[in-house]
């Protein structure tokens, strides 16, 4: 890493504090070597600002009360890609079950939702910038 050019603008935050992923689902089977090709749902977070972001994730289901909050700390000027499969506290998110996510952050962040589905012989991918609330 070199460059002292002003366009790096260290510490300039970008994004929003509330984000929603409506289509959450962890495919329950996988094909190929773990962990790279394990079927997963991910939220990818960028904290472009200088302060740490405390991010809370609440998981909503079809037929039960929400789970969470799951708490992540994303340092300033860092990316954090979080597999939903790996959330354990306060409880694992079940596989093969429909859910939605609301993320709230203490600092502006940007959230992108991505799924890798390797239930069949070649993996499928989908991705979208999440919905940013006010």
Q: Is 95 in the site for a copy of itself (CB under 8 A)?
A: no
Q: How many CA atoms lie within 13 A of 71 on its CB side?
A: 4
Q: For residue 87, which of 131, 34, 26 has the smallest C-alpha distance?
A: 26
**Complex with a copy of itself: residue 86 or 128, whichever CB lies closer:** 128
Among 31, 51, 52, 95, indicate the residue that binds a copy of itself (CB under 8 A): 31
Q: What residues pair up with 47 in beta bridges, in sequence order?
A: 78
Q: Is 122 in the site for a copy of itself (CB under 8 A)?
A: yes
User: Residues 33 to 92: which contact a copy of itself by CB under 8 A?
Assistant: 36-37, 42, 44-46, 48, 56, 58, 60-69, 77-81, 90-91
Q: Is 93 in the site for a copy of itself (CB under 8 A)?
A: no
Q: Is 99 in the site for a copy of itself (CB under 8 A)?
A: yes
Phi, psi of 86 (to 5 degrees): -95, 0
Report the sign of the C-alpha dihedral through residues 15, 24, 26, 104, in that order: positive
């Amino acid at each position: 890493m070199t460059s002292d050019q002003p366009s790096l603008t260290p510490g300039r935050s970008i994004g929003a504090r509330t984000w929603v992923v409506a289509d959450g689902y962890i495919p329950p089977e996988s094909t190929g070597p773990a962990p790279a090709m394990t079927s997963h749902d991910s939220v990818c977070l960028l904290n472009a600002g200088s302060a740490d972001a405390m991010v809370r994730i609440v998981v909503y289901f079809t037929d039960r009360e929400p789970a969470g909050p799951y708490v992540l700390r994303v340092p300033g000027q860092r990316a954090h890609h979080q597999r939903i499969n790996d959330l354990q506290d306060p409880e694992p998110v079940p596989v093969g079950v429909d859910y939605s996510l609301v993320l709230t952050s203490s600092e502006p962040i940007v959230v992108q939702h991505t799924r890798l589905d390797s239930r069949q012989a070649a993996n499928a991918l989908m991705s979208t910038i999440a919905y940013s609330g006010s």
